[in-house]
Amino acid sequence: MPRLPFLSLTCAIAFSVAACDRQSADEAQQQENSAEVKANEELTGTVDRSQAGTPLPAVTVTDPSGTTLDLSKAVGKPVLLNLWATWCAPCVAEMPLLDELAAERADTLRVLTVSEDMKGPELVVPFFKEKKFANLPQWMDQANDLAFGMGGGASLPLTVLYDAEGKEVWRVIGGFDWASDQAREMLDEAAPPADG
């Protein structure tokens, strides 16, 4: 008879462990589902036209090789300027879409991605290598001059469309689905007028 309580205790422990394992699997599934929902939520940025006409900022950015670019001189064709960071989930979610967009519209649109990571190349270079982006530049703004100049430490991601003369058309605050019909129509707003 003394074995019966021991057996009951053993069964209770085994049942508890099994329940914990099932709970862990359930939690993992919930986390995975939450990640999918979160990824969709991350691409729901808002369009802001309140600063239309503002010129490209006079900020110089640098790439990992030390090459610099004065953004105010990036004129001649429309520019889509994207401020992002490796720690920003919606930024990471939209980067593949921006890479595809840069390839698709290479002749008519200059896509400039600028990292606001303070560690610069230490984070940006491995991120680009891992993601295998072939069409996005690795510009960096380690001092965050650009982010602060565009709204006092702008929320990331922040993407601004400038026309060929360097004047703001609109900005999107938050992640955005750059493959959507809405994005295509909005980008066409900066296209030069058709000859005719």
52 and 35 part of one domain: no
Per residue in 56-115, pLDDT tens?
999 999 999 999 999 999 999 999 999 999 999 999 999 999 999 999 999 999 999 999
103 and 156 part of one domain: yes
How does residue 41 score in pLDDT terms, banded at 50, 70 and 90?
low
CA distance 188 to 97: 17
72 and 13 part of one domain: no
What order of strands is seen across the sheet that includes strand 158-162? 44-48, 168-176, 158-162, 79-84, 110-115, 139-140, 60-62, 68-70
Q: Six-digit token pair at 91?
A: 């930024």
144 and 92 part of one domain: yes
91 and 109 part of one domain: yes
- Could you tell me the residue range of the domain that residue 24 belongs to? 1-41
CA distance 112 to 135: 10
Q: State the pTM of this model.
A: 0.78
Question: Do residues 142 and 117 make contact, with C-beta atoms less than 8 angstroms apart?
Answer: yes
